Amino acid sequence: MASKISVLGSTGSIGTQTLDVARMHNLEVTALTANSNIRLLELQAREFHPKMVAVLDLGAAAQLKVALSDTNTEVFCGEEGIRMAATEKSCDTVVNSIVGVAGLLPTLEAIKEGKNIALANKETLVAGGSIVMKAVKEHGVKLYPVDSEHSAIFQCLQGCPENSLKKIILTASGGSFFGKKRDELRNVSVKEALSHPNWSMGAKITVDSSTMMNKGLEVIEASWLFDCSDEDIDVVIHRESIIHSMILLKDNAVIAQLGVPDMRIPIQYALTYPERLPSPAAEPDFRDIAGMTFYKPDYDTFTCLTVCRETLRRGGLYPTVANAANEVAVDMFLKEKIKFLDIGDIVADAVSSFSENKTDISLEDILQTDRETRIRIKNKY
Ligand code: NAD
Ligand code: MG
């Protein structure tokens, strides 16, 4: 069980919920980081007394340094500051709740320093799964999933003999636009894309849920965490988000993990594994649940899911390309520079125009592919 944690991206949706868990279980918080939200970071630092905080934005970091000058918390800045938080000496577990591929290097640095990882930042595994999993093995650390579906699978697998897994069944809420066809999606607004039926999350992942890119990223994430291929992972739409995912075993028995949609359960399990402790999440009351529904995903409308599956089959740097293209496209959509359907088209276009694939990938290959993909799209729009 974790006792001293560094929380990267502590001001975000997962970060703040991680601190709810830390508060409840008196975990020591050794470092906190944020992109630029120093107001909240200051409040967090005053409550949890970390040894250090880091802010990506240099100007914001300078302001926070002044604000925290009456405390013992040191303030650092930039990517180097975040690296320092990821490798803070006394911490045993790093919670990575940064959004986007920006989480990749801090994850690798933390692993190299022997830290266990509670990973919410799925883009790390999508873009750099091969090197991250290799580093986990080499340094003998544990990587616990925080993403609710992957935590569910991890929970379902407890007590199952090795080699008993036949299939993973990832559940998907279907996001804001379930049931809609391309024609109906042409003019949807940012506000509509940001209204998720069941979960309250950061903007990027909420848009990813509405395009179903999120499920595509999660199929790739699952392939790395549970060592399986595209054919071994089914996706099923389950609108109510009560079943967080399931496993099908070789004897065709199915084990599912259920509960209210509250990320503090998977966050806590990643921090307290294998213990089951009281959590801040509510108890489900099945008498209040009218029913559970299941549907096939619409791969023709939600092309991001289709493309992600294709990149998983192709392997190598293809998932890195899809992820980078999506990050740029979602950012442009949130800034209202492109339309909703452009996101899927940009991701598909980036993947189909990529060809220099490799099998033995280095970190530099990943970073360069990520950079080049972003530049190519930015030059076009
Ligand atoms: P968020 O936008 O709410 O928070 C992101 C955090 O990262 C913030 O603290 C922000 O300051 C920081 N950050 C942003 N850009 C950064 C950068 N370039 N460098 C360093 N720090 C940066 O996002 P979130 O919803 O909490 O999601 C975080 C990660 O967890 C994502 O990878 C997401 O896919 C994953 N995840 C989130 C949920 C959820 O319920 N929110 C569920 C499953 C997985
Ligand atoms: Mg998820």
**55 has which bridge partners?**
34, 77
Looking at residue 21, its pLDDT comes to 98
pLDDT value at 359 more than 90: no
Q: Could you read off the pLDDT of 211-253 as tens digits, one per residue? A: 999 999 999 999 999 999 999 999 999 999 999 999 999 999 9
Which CATH architecture best describes the domain 4-145? 3-Layer(aba) Sandwich (3.40)
Using DSSP bridges, classify how beta strands 243-249 and 254-258 pair: parallel, antiparallel or unpaired: antiparallel
The chain-wide mean pLDDT, for the chain, equals 97
pLDDT band at 139 (very low <50, low <70, confident <90, very high): very high
Mean pLDDT calculated for residue range 271-280: 97
Q: Could you read off the pLDDT of 13-22 as tens digits, one per residue? A: 999 999 999 9
Task: Give DSSP secondary structure letters for 259-327.
Answer: --S-THHHHHHHHHTT-----SSPPP-GGG------B---TTT-HHHHHHHHHHHH-TTHHHHHHHHHH
pLDDT value at 357 more than 80: no
Task: Kindly list the domain boundaries of the chain, sorted by start residue.
Answer: 4-145, 161-249+293-380
Contact 245/236 with Cβ under 8 angstroms?
no
Percent of the chain with pLDDT over 70: 100
- CA atoms of 82 and 108, how far apart (whole Å): 12
pTM: 0.98
Ligand nearest to the CA of 119: 1
pLDDT value at 177 more than 80: yes
Q: Could you read off the pLDDT of 154-168 as tens digits, one per residue? A: 999 999 999 999 999
Which of 43, 44, 58 has the alpha carbon at shortest distance from 6? Answer: 44
Give residue ranges with CB within 6 A of ligand 1.
9-15, 34-35, 37, 56, 82, 97-99, 102, 120-123, 147, 199, 201-202, 205, 263
Looking at residue 356, its pLDDT comes to 78
- CA atoms of 312 and 123, how far apart (whole Å): 14
Ligand 1 midpoint to CA 122 (Å): 10
Which of 267, 263, 198, 269 has the alpha carbon at shortest distance from 237? Answer: 198
Ligand 1 midpoint to CA 222 (Å): 19
The CATH code of the domain at 161-249+293-380 is 1.10.1740.10
Mention every residue, 6+ apart, whose C-beta is less than 8 A from residue 44. Answer: 10, 11, 19, 32, 53
Helix (H) or strand (E) holding 4: strand 4-8
Mention every residue, 6+ apart, whose C-beta is less than 8 A from residue 15. Answer: 7, 8, 9, 32, 34, 95, 97
Maximum CA pair distance of the chain?
62
Ligand 2 midpoint to CA 172 (Å): 8
pLDDT band at 367 (very low <50, low <70, confident <90, very high): very high
Q: Could you read off the pLDDT of 40-79 as tens digits, one per residue? A: 999 999 999 999 999 999 999 999 999 999 999 999 999 9
Looking at residue 97, its pLDDT comes to 98
Mean pLDDT calculated for residue range 268-295: 96
Mean pLDDT calculated for residue range 87-113: 98
- CA atoms of 213 and 351, how far apart (whole Å): 14
